[in-house]
């Protein structure tokens, strides 16, 4: 995969993540994390692709998000004839994990120096 092709795919994945953040269910990230951890994320399977994991089925997800196609968000291979489903699945998982690791790092960095008050014990 060339650098430009990878960048374009990453832009589409980033757009898909932003779209789900804005319009998807609040727990969509938990569902994708679980699918990646259990190694069942598979963009060629309508039940285990990004929208399938979030909504139960790719086509249900399109309807819930009021979309005609998921191609621009890299939810499928439309608009990307040079990417296979397997390649897109690997890139979604990799890019998503990298984003989660960066978010966790920035959360922990922003909390450095902040002291938590001790919890009171329930009697």
Asked if residue 106 lies in contact with residue 112, where contact means CB atoms within 8 angstroms, the answer is no
Element (H, E) at 100: helix 85-110
Q: Which of 3-17, 18-32, 57-71 has the highest mean pLDDT?
A: 18-32
Look at residue 121 and tell me if it is in a domain: no
Q: How many domains does the chain have?
A: 1
Structure tokens that stand for 46 in this block: 């309508």
Residue 91 lies in a domain: yes
Phi, psi of 24 (to 5 degrees): -85, 175
Any domain includes 116: no
Q: How confident is the model at residue 10 (pLDDT cuts 50, 70, 90)?
A: confident
State the DSSP code for 72: G
Higher per-residue confidence, 114 vs 3:
3
pTM of the model: 0.74
Say if 75 falls within a structural domain.
yes
pLDDT tens, residue by residue, 78-93: 655 577 889 889 999 9
The domain of 55 spans 3-101
């Amino acid at each position: 995969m060339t650098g430009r092709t990878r960048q374009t795919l990453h832009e589409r994945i980033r757009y898909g993540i932003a779209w789900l953040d804005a319009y998807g269910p609040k727990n969509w990230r938990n569902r994708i994390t679980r699918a990646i951890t259990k190694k069942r994320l598979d963009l060629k399977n309508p039940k285990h692709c990004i929208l399938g994991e979030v909504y139960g089925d790719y086509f249900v997800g399109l309807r819930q998000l009021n979309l005609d196609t998921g191609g621009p968000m890299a939810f499928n291979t439309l608009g990307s004839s040079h990417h296979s489903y397997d390649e897109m699945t690997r890139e979604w998982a990799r890019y998503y994990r990298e984003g989660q690791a960066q978010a966790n790092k920035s959360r922990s960095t922003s909390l450095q120096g902040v002291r938590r008050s001790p919890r009171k014990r329930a009697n």
